């Protein structure tokens, strides 16, 4: 399990919650990992089970069915889910989507959706990426054109997390295709999965994170009332940018925890595996490699606590969020790759956890904004 004795950011109340989360994961999620990977998606009923113990959207105010807790509780869930190696899509709902509803949603939208997101009755997704548009959100082509008191949405999205299970999708679309600069024409529209013209494409075949449903979504003359616009029309890009520090911090937290699990597993493996008459751990190269990784993990946890403390005070800047995402995902990949190497041939076998973890970690440097974009964002503030 994660060793949190030297952590500086959490209270005893946080740690009591961690024990609840850890026990729930071992009972409800860990036993099903292999089956979920094989079927390419988690069972949807896991969402309601998670909602029952407060694992979904803990920061939602009590007035809307939530617990009204701070983001530290989200961080604990992210750490424990990642350390356990479970493919749950809770982070997208709790760390990303829900903030848009809480911060910019109308009273009607909040009362309709937030209690259901907390309980797990509703699974959400956010549809930004398109086949021809990745990190450059200004270039999206999906449109939402006005027709009376409705929007008519046309376009397609890809690489959408929770795409197969989602009941509600926050769709980034152009409500104004003429305005310059282009970002001023982007709005966020709430689209229920039951709307005519909405179709799910295939559950995409990835090189890792097999049980995470990542999908294509299609919108063909999908009509939604104009009251489904989140916040103000044309402010979508601003809303997206304002929420990115938390999203990137959440990615950094998950990367750190999964790297720690890979390291812990590798220490145990090398102490058990024999080669040339002694354990693999007894070779100086093994110990030196692990010592280097342990040092970086130690630094990483200190930085996570620093960044989380700043975020809890609403002081984490966009470039600091970008730097956290950049550093921790690069460190995660180094840990994964070196740990796999220390497993030898076993590391290339999917039956060993390190192989699954190594494959799953590769996308961390891509989603949430590719790491090359993180460098650009940081560089602009130098």
**Is 1 in a helix, a strand, or coil?**
coil
Pull the structure tokens for residue 302.
Answer: 């200190």
Determine the Cα–Cα distance for residues 76 and 82; give it in Å rounded to an integer: 10
Q: First CA to last CA across the chain, in angstroms?
A: 39
Tell me the backbone φ, ψ of residue 257, rounded to 5 degrees. -70, -40
> Which 3-state string (H, E, C) describes 226-287?
HHHECCCCCCHHHHHHHHHHHHHHHHHHHHHHHHHHHHHHHHHHHHHCEECCEEHHHCHHHH
Determine the Cα–Cα distance for residues 382 and 371; give it in Å rounded to an integer: 17
Q: Give yes or no: 178 in active site.
A: no
Which residues 6+ apart lie within 8 Å of 36 measured at CB?
Answer: 42, 43, 87, 210, 211
Which residue's entry shows tokens 């076993």?
Answer: 346
Determine the Cα–Cα distance for residues 294 and 281; give it in Å rounded to an integer: 14
Which position among 247, 315, 330, 351 bears the catalytic label?
247
DSSP 128-171: --BTTBSS-GGG---EEEEETTEEEEEEEEEEEETTTT-SEEEE
Pull the structure tokens for residue 200.
Answer: 């799910």
How far is CA 322 from each of CA 25, 319, 376, 379, 382, rounded to the nearest angstrom? 29, 5, 9, 10, 13
Catalytic residue positions? 247
């Amino acid at each position: 399990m994660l060793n949190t004795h030297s952590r500086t950011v959490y209270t005893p109340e946080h740690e009591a919650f961690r024990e609840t989360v850890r026990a729930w994961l071992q009972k409800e999620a860990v036993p099903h990992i292999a089956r979920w990977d094989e079927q390419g998606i988690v069972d949807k009923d896991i969402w309601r089970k998670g909602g029952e113990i407060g694992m979904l959207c803990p920061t939602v105010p009590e007035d809307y069915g939530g617990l009204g807790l701070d983001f530290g509780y989200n961080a604990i869930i992210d750490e424990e889910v990642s350390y356990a190696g479970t493919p749950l899509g809770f982070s997208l709902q709790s760390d990303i989507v829900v903030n848009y509803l809480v911060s910019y949603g109308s009273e009607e939208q909040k009362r309709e959706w937030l209690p259901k997101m907390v309980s797990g009755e509703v699974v959400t997704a956010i549809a930004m990426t398109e086949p021809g548009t990745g990190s450059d959100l200004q270039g999206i082509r999906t449109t939402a054109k006005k027709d009376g008191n409705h929007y008519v949405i046309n376009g397609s999205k890809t690489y959408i997390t929770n795409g197969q299970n989602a009941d509600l999708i926050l769709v980034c679309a152009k409500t104004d295709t003429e305005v310059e600069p282009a970002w001023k024409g982007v709005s966020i529209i709430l689209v229920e999965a039951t709307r005519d013209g909405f179709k799910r494409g295939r559950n995409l075949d990835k090189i890792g994170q097999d049980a995470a449903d990542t999908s294509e979504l299609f919108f063909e003359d999908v009509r939604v009332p104009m009251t489904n616009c989140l916040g103000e029309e044309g402010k979508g890009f601003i809303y997206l940018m304002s929420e990115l520090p938390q999203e990137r911090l959440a990615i950094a937290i998950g990367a750190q925890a999964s790297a720690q699990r890979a390291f812990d597993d590798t220490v145990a493996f090398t102490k058990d595996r024999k080669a040339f008459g002694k354990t693999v751990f007894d070779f100086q190269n093994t110990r030196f490699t692990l010592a280097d990784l342990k040092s970086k993990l130690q630094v990483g946890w200190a930085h996570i606590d620093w960044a989380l403390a700043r975020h809890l005070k609403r002081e984490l800047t966009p470039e600091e969020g970008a730097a956290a995402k950049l550093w921790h995902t690069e460190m995660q990949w180094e840990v994964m790759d070196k740990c796999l190497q220390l497993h030898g041939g076993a590391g290339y076998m999917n039956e060993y956890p390190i192989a699954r973890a190594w494959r799953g970690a590769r996308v961390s440097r891509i989603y949430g904004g590719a790491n090359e974009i993180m460098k650009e964002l940081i560089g602009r503030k130098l």
